[in-house]
Amino acid sequence: MKKIVLLMVVLFVGVVTAAVAVPSGRTLVFDKSPEGKVTFSGKIHKDAGLKCRDCHNKKVFPKMKKGTVKITMDAIYAGKYCGVCHNGKRAFEAKNNCKRCHVK
Ligand code: HEC
Ligand code: HEC
Ligand code: HEC
């Protein structure tokens, strides 16, 4: 019995720290572009003062799961997805700054 309780405590702590570890330290890699892979840093975006809801809302990235939207440059230039901010106003513009996102 004691062992089971201990195991449950360990599992619970594990789940809680995993949930907390998700936001800031998380890095997502988008590797489908011929232009080079794009590394999205949760930390850089958090340090820029953004809240989860700035991105995770119906209009931008509705789901907290990688791969639920298909990001294209046309969409970005049209002000969707990363382009909501990467338009030269809230953050650096996507046009002419390919290499700040894409690394070969
Ligand atoms: C600057 C934008 C931005 C901010 C701010 C942001 N996220 Fe995300 N997050 C994303 C993108 C983009 C994805 C991938 C979505 C997709 O592919 O559909 C994502 C995916 C995720 C995922 C899934 C990761 C995976 O491996 O599938 C989780 C969990 C998540 N975000 C949690 C959070 C939490 C919690 C916060 C706030 C602390 C947060 N995000 C803030 C942009 C952001
Ligand atoms: C809600 C606004 C917002 C969204 C959406 C957003 N970003 Fe950002 N991003 C920022 C801000 C603000 C910064 C920091 C200021 C700056 O570098 O212009 C930043 C910085 C970055 C940087 C750091 C660049 C450098 O040279 O330091 C990269 C790379 C980046 N974003 C990629 C992405 C990608 C890829 C997406 C889409 C998956 C995305 N961002 C979506 C606001 C956003
Ligand atoms: C703010 C970050 C960001 C910047 C800046 C950026 N891209 Fe992208 N780009 C992305 C993301 C994210 C994807 C999706 C990659 C994936 O799904 O694996 C993408 C996809 C692509 C694709 C494949 C999809 C499509 O639309 O054809 C090409 C080609 C591409 N980018 C070229 C460029 C070029 C050229 C530039 C500069 C003029 C540029 N990108 C600037 C983030 C960026």
What does the alpha-carbon distance between residue 61 and residue 53 come to, in Å, rounded to a whole number? 9
CATH code for position 99: 3.90.10.10
* Per-residue confidence (pLDDT) for residue 26, from 0 to 100: 86
* Per-residue confidence (pLDDT) for residue 17, from 0 to 100: 43
* Regions of the chain short of the pLDDT cut 50: 6-7, 9-11, 13-22
* Per-residue confidence (pLDDT) for residue 19, from 0 to 100: 44
* Per-residue confidence (pLDDT) for residue 22, from 0 to 100: 45
pTM: 0.90
Among 27, 37, 38, residue to substitute to test ligand 3 (most atoms within 8 Å of Cβ): 38
Domain count, the chain: 1
Range of the domain at 43: 23-103
What does the alpha-carbon distance between residue 75 and residue 73 come to, in Å, rounded to a whole number? 5
**Which residue type does 52 have?**
C
**81 falls within a domain:** yes
Q: Residue 81: name the closest of 69, 63, 92 by CA.
A: 69
Q: Residue 25: name the closest of 2, 46, 3 by CA.
A: 46
Task: Give ligand 1 pocket residues (Cβ under 6 A).
Answer: 22-23, 28, 40, 45, 50, 52, 54-56, 61, 63-69
Q: Is any ligand 2 atom within 6 A of the Cβ of residue 77?
A: no
